[in-house]
Every structure is written in C-alpha cells, then in structure tokens.
Amino acid sequence: MSSRPVKLVGVGVIALAIACSGESPEGTSGMNETEGSVLLAEWTGSYGGVPAFDRMDLAALEPALETGMAANLVEIDAIAANPEPATFENTIVALERVGRDLDRVFTYWGIWSSNLSTPEFRQIQARMVPKLSEFQSKITQNVALFDRIRAVYEGDEMESLRTDQQRLVWLVYDGFARNGATLEGEAKERYAEINKRLAELQTQFGNNVLADEEAYVLYLEEDQLGGLPVSYVQAAAAAAQDRGQEGKYAVTNTRSSMDPFLIFSDQRDLREKVWRTYYSRGDNGDDHDNNAIIAEILRLRHERVQLLGYENYASWRLENRMAKTPERALELMEAVFPAALARVAEEVADMQAIADAEGAGITIEPWDYRYYAEKVRKARYDLDSDEVKQYLQLEKLREAMFFVAGELFNFQFTPVEQGKVPVFHGDVGVWEVTDRTSGELVGLWYLDPYARPGKRSGAWATSYRSHETFDGKVTVLASNNSNFIKGAPGEPVLISWSDAETLFHEFGHALHYLSSKVEYPTLNGGVRDYTEFQSQLLEHWLLTDQVIDSYLVHHETGEPIPDDLVARIKNAATFNQGFAQTEYVAAALVDMMYHTTDPADLDAEAFERAALERLDMPREIVMRHRSPHFGHIFSSEGYSAGYYGYLWADVLTADAAEAFEEAPGGFYDKELAKKLVDNLFAVRNAVDPADAYRAFRGRDAKIDAVMRDYGFPVPGE
C-alpha cells in the first residue's frame, strides 16, 4: 500500500487526509530556515539535504505546526492579493512554491504517526488535527485565490501551455472546486465544520485500532508452540523479550504475526483466540470501539458531498478516477465476485475432506481456513509454505529487488555508510540511488523493515521529498516500511511467499517515486485506482528465472531453490484464490455500499452483517478488513469508496504482464521496459492514466488476463 500523501493539488499544504491518517507526506527542500526548530529548518547535508531524523523533538511539533501554518497563509494571501492579472506563472506556479516549511514539519509528523507513535504524540495529534482542518479550509475557501485559479483555468493562456502544464492547471482547479471552493455563505461554513469534525473522527479511528494492536498480545508457553516453524518461534521469543516477557513467545495483534500463526499452529483453541482478537480490533465495546465513529463519519461525508450537489459520497469520490462512476467500479467487482464465491465452495470442500479424513470431528471455521488450506496445498501440490520460506531471506530478496530495478530502470543501489544520513531508528537502512550509465544521483531509498510497538501494522511506501525541476532539480527521498518479525541476532529473517510479493509490491511504489521526471510537485500525485497498478506489476518479477536462480537460495546451505519446488510454486499460483479474492472483493463491495447508502440511521455493526448477507458471504471467511478496523476507508479518505482500486489496478497489471510474456526478451525485454518506464512510471500524474496506459499497451486493458491470473473462467471463453 502506498502512503504517498495526497496534497491539496496546487497548494503547498498537507491534505486533510494526511492529517487524519498519519500517512507520511512528501517533504521538499525548503526556501527559508526558521530559527529555533529543527522541524522547520531547511534540510542540510549531502544529497540535496536530508531530514534530521536524529534530532526530532516531539516537544517542538506543535509550535512548528503553528509557525508553518501561519507562514503558509501569508504566502497564500500574497498570491491572492497580487494586483496583476492571474497567469499560470504568478498563480499556479506560485502555489507550487508555497508551504515548504510546513511540508518539512509533516515529514516528521509522518514518522511519529506511522513508525514511532507514542501516547504523547497521539495527544498532540488529537489537538492539532482540528486546527489543521481549519487551516486547510482557510485556503480552499479563499475567494480571491480561487477567482485567480479559475481565471487561469478558463482563460486564453491555457491554449499556449504544454499538456503537462494544462493538466497541472486542471488538477489545481479541480482540487479546489471539488473541495468546497464554489460554496457560499452557510454552506461554506458548514463544509468547513464538517471537515474539522471528520479530521477528529478519522484520527480517533486510526488511533483506536493502533491501541488494540498494542494492547492485545498473546503470550505462549513452550507447550503451546505445536506446528509453528522454528523461524516463527524464534521471532516470537524475540518479540516477547522486547516486551519484558523473557521465556515466553509473543503473538502480536498484527497481520504479519497473526497470519502465519493461523497457517501453522495445530492448537485450534489458540487459533480461534488469535483470529477473534485480530478481527475484533476496534470492535470490543470499550473506549477504543469504532462502530459509533463509523456511523458519524459516513453521515458527515454524505452531508458534505450533498452540499456540493452530489447524490452520494462515492459519486463525488470516483468522478476524477479511472472508474468515473460507482456503477463502473461495481460492474468490475460483480464480474469477479461470483467466480470467487464458486471457488471458495470448492476450497472449503477440499479442506473439510482432509479434516474428516484425519478424524478431526470439526466443521471448517474461519480460524481453520488458513490451517487446512495449507494441508490442501501440501496434498495437492506437494507444496509446504515453510519449505518455501527457507529460500526467502529478507536480505536476499532486497538484493533481488535491486537487480530488477537495475535491469528495468537502470538504477544502482549503494548502501550509505552508517551515520552519514540520519535515521529515526537503528533498524532503518539507507541506500544511494544512481543512474547506472551516467552515475547521476537519483535520490535515496530508506528501508524500515521490522515491527515494533508504536508502528502501524502492514506495509507501505512513502516519500519524504518528491521530484521536481521547475526551480532546479530536486532529488527523491523514498521509503519502504514493513512489519517483519525481527529474528534472533545473527539469524536471517525468513518470510512467506505472500510477504515476498508484498515486499516487491511496495518497492514498486518506491520505484514510481524515484522514476519521476515531472517538473511540478503536484504532478507527483496520482489517481488512486491507477497508482496501485505499477506496484502490483512489479510482483511479477519475483518469479522470473533471473531472480529465482540468483536470489532464492537456502538460508543455511546457500543452494538455489530446486527446479521442482519452483514448478510446484508456479503450479499452485492460482491456489486459494477463492479465499484471496472473496475476502478482498467483499471488503471493496461493502466499502462501496457504505458510500452509496443514505447513512442517516446507520448502525455499522448491523450494516456490515446485512451487507455480507446480501453478498452471500461464505461463513468460513470474513472480509479482509472488518469495518471497525478498516483504516483504508475510515482513518482517512485515501481509499474511501475506492478500495476497489486494487482490483482495477489488477486488471491493468495482468494485462501489462501479458505484454511482457509476449515480448521477445520476456520480462527483461529492454524495449518494452523503456516503454514501461517512460509511459507508466516517469510521467506520474502529468498524463491522464487511461492515455498513459494506451501509450504503453496500444489499447485499453481487458479483464481476460486478470481472470486467467486468478484461475477463474474467462467471460466468453
């Protein structure tokens, strides 16, 4: 998942979505150093300046935010009050320059929020989010500023601008118009009030989930470890030790800890406990319960878009995305979901047959699905997930990603000497990224791989500084963040095949940042149902021969992964797709239902239950993110009414992957790789996504390829 921030286009302020979600914004080198706060100060040192992560001071955060907002408003007022007629240069480009001090503060905010959260930070966050919302409203509701933006958008100068400049103007205008700039009087005031309250609620939602992840840790004794791989046991022991529980084994309340436990543990009662604890995050009827918050968020979102004249939130959200309408997004999901449900029925029957043959005397329950699916995998494909893990070393996979980046993007990754670039935690590594041919500096890549208390769960990518050239070339600072369980000292970190795919996926986001050739910062943004495509596509290189032969080696012997095991992995590529697609598409459908329904009297718990009944959701599966911890759509607005975007991107991904399969050089075809980088990575949001994809593929994407990827029947075949 990308946590690349969404700036209010054309304005040097951080969007409300970031203030609410804790996602890390893209900082930029600043113009003025503000004395007294390292958080505001211009970045110094090598590589065009880097964040002073080693000198972060939480006590300075609130004053720095206040100072940064005040300075930004002065800059905005100067643009709005310019007596000269509005032009692209004095209005649109001027907006690209403002807010640099505040950008830098939010780089540190993002680290505290996502990587190093503490109760003290969350108190600051709760106090500042309403102020940040009010600050944003002052900009979007600045009538004089919007009049100038509209004058450029509707003026004759547009015809003389380059296509990327025209798109920049449209993005700026659309960003204001769709966020209340056209409103007047009481409607404008109410819009600002709603944004302020949503900022509070969405922040509270995310913090409630984090609180449950931190509070619910299951400590095991040695006699409760049955079935668990040695690597998991070692990591669990280290996690317990970090929490002051020497001699015990910690199962933390995160997906990276829960998922392998449910696959391997032969203690059914413990599997149920871990499953219930994980899927009950935000739903425990206590101070961190999110159900009432969900209802209020949905009511406020609905009211807000009605002020703008939209029927429902989803119609507003999708208008400027690839899908354009909720109906088109639903059409895609409804094409996939029935095939996924049919496959689930087959998977459950296979699992039940094994359980019956073993004399287990059970009916498959949700906490049994992963466990018995693993048994089916072994029986059908002779494929043991733990056997595969022996060849999946985190460090070797990182080297594999660097190899792929070199072959496709011509990037060279070189480790930076420890201490040369400040980091916010000792686990963080930094690499210098250069062009392999010219040696020219592209930027830096940070990696924060391990789980820790205060770090949000999952995996994500972000950038601390984005590419731009309009005031001189700026180098990129990109980051990948994961939650792997750190092993014992000196022991390699072994990860699952799914985690390896996620690692490549998130690296795809980083490559997207690093590949940028755009001139203006706003053009580094993206369309949500498109930006996951580039990262999902990179997952396909994990199973290329070059990666398999050189980087998937046994952690003890160093021997390459055997050909027969590779064959078994490939044969099992569509295994368990019923589970994978059902849990995902169900969540995406419920997201769309939430945002196309009048939420006046909505009860979140009852709504989720009724929605899943309408979908004929199998009792053995829950949606991937149950509503009370569905942070994608409720801790910010980044994926709200847009969780379907992963599926939309999957269609593009599968179609593009088939282009490489058909190319003379396969996945390393130089000509096609250049088209990929030039048309789908380097342009970022300077080109309409549909046009960009057609420039790469020569046509629009078709659903056929993704159905083949899933192993589902292809319509019409």
The label of the residue with tokens 């196309």 reads 596
Please state, in angstroms and rounded to a whole number, the distance separating the CA atoms of residues 298 and 227: 43
Across 420-424, 454-458, 568-572, least confident range: 454-458
Provide the pLDDT for residue 26: 36
Architecture (CATH level 2) of domain 326-370+575-710: Orthogonal Bundle (1.10)
The yes-or-no verdict on residue 23 having pLDDT over 60 is no
The yes-or-no verdict on residue 612 having pLDDT over 90 is yes
Please state, in angstroms and rounded to a whole number, the distance separating the CA atoms of residues 682 and 512: 7
Provide the pLDDT for residue 691: 96
- Residues in the chain, overall count: 717
The yes-or-no verdict on residue 36 having pLDDT over 80 is no
* Burial of 597: CB neighbours in 10 Å, binned 0-12, 13-18, 19+: middle
Contact yes or no for 484/493 (Cβ under 8 A): yes
Nearest to 42 by CA among 30, 52, 51: 30
The yes-or-no verdict on residue 461 having pLDDT over 90 is yes
What is the pTM for the complete model shown?
Answer: 0.87
Q: What is the DSSP string of 569-613?
A: HHHTTTTTHHHHHHHHHHHHHHHHHHTTS--TT--HHHHHHHHHH
Alpha helices (runs of H) in 216-290, residue ranges in sequence order? 230-242, 255-264, 268-279
The yes-or-no verdict on residue 138 having pLDDT over 70 is yes
Q: What is the mean pLDDT of the chain?
A: 93
Nearest to 377 by CA among 392, 365, 388: 388
Burial 154-190 (b: 16+ CB within 10 A, else e): eeebeeeeeebbbbbbbbbbebbbbbbbbbeeeebee
- What are φ and ψ of residue 594, in 5° steps? -55, -40
- For the stretch 409-437, pLDDT in tens is 999 999 999 999 999 999 999 999 999 99
| Conformational region of residue 554, where left means phi above 0, alpha means psi within -120 to 50, and beta covers everything else | beta
Nearest to 395 by CA among 358, 355, 447, 469: 447
Contact yes or no for 293/203 (Cβ under 8 A): no
Residue 218: pLDDT band by 50, 70, 90 thresholds?
very high
Please state, in angstroms and rounded to a whole number, the distance separating the CA atoms of residues 636 and 181: 21
What DSSP character marks residue 339? H
Provide the pLDDT for residue 552: 97
Q: Which residues pair with 560 in a beta bridge?
A: 553
Mean pLDDT, residues 335-360: 97
Provide the pLDDT for residue 354: 97
Architecture (CATH level 2) of domain 16-182: Orthogonal Bundle (1.10)
Please state, in angstroms and rounded to a whole number, the distance separating the CA atoms of residues 682 and 73: 32
Please state, in angstroms and rounded to a whole number, the distance separating the CA atoms of residues 168 and 109: 27
- For the stretch 42-84, pLDDT in tens is 999 999 999 999 999 999 999 999 999 999 999 999 999 999 9
The yes-or-no verdict on residue 2 having pLDDT over 90 is no
- Hey, which residues are catalytic here? 506
- What are φ and ψ of residue 228, in 5° steps? -80, 135
What is residue 516's three-state secondary structure?
Answer: coil
The label of the residue with tokens 């998937």 reads 552
Mean pLDDT, residues 189-204: 95
Mean pLDDT, residues 585-607: 97
- For the stretch 649-674, pLDDT in tens is 999 999 999 999 999 999 999 999 99
Domain ranges (residues) in the chain: 16-182, 216-279, 326-370+575-710, 394-552
Provide the pLDDT for residue 500: 96
Residue 314: pLDDT band by 50, 70, 90 thresholds?
very high
Q: Is the CATH number of domain 394-552 1.10.1370.40? A: yes
The yes-or-no verdict on residue 619 having pLDDT over 80 is yes
Please state, in angstroms and rounded to a whole number, the distance separating the CA atoms of residues 603 and 414: 53
Provide the pLDDT for residue 1: 59
Nearest to 195 by CA among 297, 114, 335: 297
Mean pLDDT, residues 150-166: 97
- What are φ and ψ of residue 49, in 5° steps? 95, 140
What the block records as the tokens of 5 is 């921030």
Mean pLDDT, residues 388-396: 96
Three-class SS of 266-286? CCHHHHHHHHHHHHCCCCCCC
